[in-house]
Structure 1
């Protein structure tokens, strides 16, 4: 016997079909997660940092990882599946289509940097994508990079839209990524951006329109797509039950704590990373106070925000090595972000 109920796909099953794999934890570790405060005081804040190779923060490894993730971030699910099908159809081990994939991603980044030289922050967007996939188990609903290079698409807007299911509830995550010379400047930029989005109903509807008409849902079967659209059609079903959260991923230069080194010896191999992690975790209260004040100043509801600070020794170096790994030359328009002074409370 069969029933209509058994034929209806679950939300979790549908989201799982769109969920990528992004082993970010191999390259980025966590000093403090959301569970640090009991009870949790909004906004949720996590402190992430680049992993060490003994005593050296391995920026190069993180940059190479993010350049590999750029494929999944930048290309739509339908286009990726077309490349996969072409690879499978190749005879006698033919891998020539692989070069087409790399050229497609590289050209998208080059085109965007040429058109918008002041917005050379794609490494932050790919990082935000990886955070959403790996730490929130949230599937990408629309490949924003592929739309940004289209002449009729707005360059401004969210850096990503992802979704996950928890306890049967659909969670929509609006991603905002920032590259910054300090944590305080990065969170201030985030607070300003999320306030602008929250107060712009036209942009809100536009983002959902992209998901509906141009997103990764077209890679799903008709039943799966219809199941998701019961929640994502904000035009026809504006009160469909779902949670919407803003996710800020701020990658910044932590010059102070990475500069606080301990001697290399034959002790525990991870002692250098643990030393940094403890120094960083001790700053949780200061970072949380900063972003709480910044969100309040912008009139943003902190209960609807979660932030990931991602500390690296030099965010400019990460950006350069990311582009280098993609085979893209540095742009003269890129402005150095790293500051030498200690990040102060705001």
Structure 2
């Protein structure tokens, strides 16, 4: 499934500095990763540049992989860029202009899932929206991998970008928990997404997609070979970024984040216990930023949606 992962992973390093990865919490099946914003040669952090980088990847995020490849093939045939350009505008139209949008966090989760963890997205909520002013009720994307012995690991995605780290952790895990620990039945939180996966999953290869969909066929024994996992991202205000006009030092920011990690991990451990998620495989991204509100504003502005 690595063949369908999109984008250049090295491009992440231009905008996000890896501080820690694969941190474990005793008694939990979790790997925690921390990224901070990078510092440029003038000692500045640039959330606007991160937002513009995210904008450049919206087609990868919001358009099914088969449609994107068909557009690329058409452009190559006719020596044009119009087909992919049309998809870019279609993708833009799917994003909301609401000031409290969480779609920036959802897209940042996508970029880290695919480019950092090499977990391909197999269901994107943006392709399912019928109204750009409405939020899709379901997971913030679904990602997948297959183990060597044929077990499908299905990662339900959830992201929260809040000013307060405690609230971000609490709300993120509370939203993720039903997708993992509810029993399988027609009224479960994940049921709608499972139905969509059986119908709309797109691995950009008809044979591979057909094999993948077997995992969601209740008449197939393959449906017993699915393991539910979680992938989550929290963005939150961090006071260790310097104020405007004061030069930032990348090493100082990284060290401050490492010092704060102990508190974040303790909070995570508590909330994992409250939500009864200890036994589930979780990938968890912590992305401290200068301002959650500023991040949302920068994302909307980059997309041309800020009123």
TM above 0.5:
yes
Whether 2:142 is the aligned partner of 1:161: answer yes
1:199 matched residue in structure 2: 182
Q: Retained in 2: the 8 A contact 1:180–1:253? A: yes
- The residue aligned with 2:91 is 105
The alpha-carbon distance between structure 1 residues 131 and 275, as it changes in their structure 2 partners (threshold 3 A), is same
1:325 matched to which residue of 2? 302
Deviates more, 1:282-291 or 1:227-236: 227-236
Question: Contact 2:214–2:223 at 8 Å: present in 1 too?
Answer: no
| Bigger CA radius of gyration | 1
Aligned twin of 1:4: none
Query: Could you say what secondary structure the match of 2:221 adopts?
Result: coil
Deviations 1:161-213 (A, max 9, x none): 11124555542211101111022111111121022333374332321211120
* Cα RMSD (Å): 2.8
CA 1:200–1:53: 2 relative to 1, 3 Å: farther
The alignment partner of 1:203 has SS state of: coil
Match of residue 283, structure 2, among 289, 306, 330: 306
Counterparts of 2:241 and 2:220 in 1: how far apart (Å)? Answer: 51
Secondary structure at the counterpart of residue 73 of structure 2: helix
| 2:7 paired with 1:16 | no
The partner residue of 1:174 within 156, 170, 174 is 156
Q: Distance in 1 between matches of 2:27 and 2:258?
A: 16
The residue correspondences of 1:265-280 to structure 2 (distance < 5 A) are 272-280=249-257
Q: 2:266 matched to 1:289?
A: yes
1:6 paired residue number: none
Q: 2:106 touches 2:140 (CA, 8 Å); kept in 1? A: yes
Mapped to 1, the partners of 2:243 and 2:81 lie a distance apart of: 47
Q: Deviations over 1:31-74 (max 9, x none)?
A: 1111x459785432221111111321121221111111211111
| Maintained 8 Å contact 1:194/1:300 | no
- The yes-or-no answer on 1:95 pairing with 2:59 is no
Whole-angstrom CA distance in 1 between matches of 2:165 and 2:218: 34
TM-score, length of structure 1 as denominator length? 0.77
Query: In structure 2, do the counterparts of structure 1 residues 76 and 239 end up closer, same or farther at CA, with 3 Å as the change threshold?
Result: closer
Instruction: For structure 2, list consecutive stretches of 5 or more residues without a partner in the other structure.
Output: none
Q: Partners of 2:25 and 2:137 in 1: how far apart?
A: 37
Alignment partners' CA distance in 1, 2:28 and 2:200: 37
Distance (Å, rounded) in 1 between the aligned partners of 2:194 and 2:25: 34
Aligned length, in residue pairs: 298
TM-score norm. by structure 2 comes to 0.86
Question: Is the CA contact 1:262–1:272 (under 8 Å) kept in the aligned structure 2?
Answer: no
| Correspondence for 1:227 | 211
In 2: Cα distance, 1:144 partner to 1:43 partner: 25
Alpha carbons of structure 1 residues 164 and 238: separation in structure 2 relative to 1, 3 Å: closer
